[in-house]
């Protein structure tokens, strides 16, 4: 999912993804904000059946 919005040059980005494997399905959603010209903060989550997850990340470039 994060790769789908990585090339978008704007301050705020939203991405979503759906996946299927062995009869199971999953949905993921993420939000990314550029906090400077060289840094981003990302928050995302995923749901699959009774399972869920959440993640937070940061990215830096030079």
Residue 1 has pLDDT above 60, yes or no: no
Angle at Cα 61 formed by Cα 32 and Cα 13, nearest 5°? 15
CB of 1 within 8 A of CB of 43? no
Is the pTM higher than 0.85? The answer reads: no
Looking at residue 42, its pLDDT comes to 94
Total residues belonging to the chain = 62
CB of 54 within 8 A of CB of 45? yes
What domains are defined for the chain? 2-60 (3.30.1300.30)
For 2-61, write each residue's pLDDT tens digit. Answer: 555 566 678 999 999 999 988 889 999 999 999 998 999 999 999 998 899 999 999 999
Burial 6-44 (b: 16+ CB within 10 A, else e): eeeeeeebebeeeeeeeeeebebebebeeeeeeebebeb
């Amino acid at each position: 999912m994060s790769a789908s919005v990585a090339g978008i040059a704007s301050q705020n980005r939203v991405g979503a993804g759906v996946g299927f494997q062995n009869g199971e399905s999953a949905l993921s959603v993420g939000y990314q904000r550029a906090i400077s010209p060289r840094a981003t903060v990302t928050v995302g989550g995923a749901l699959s059946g009774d399972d869920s997850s959440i993640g937070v990340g940061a990215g830096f470039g030079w």
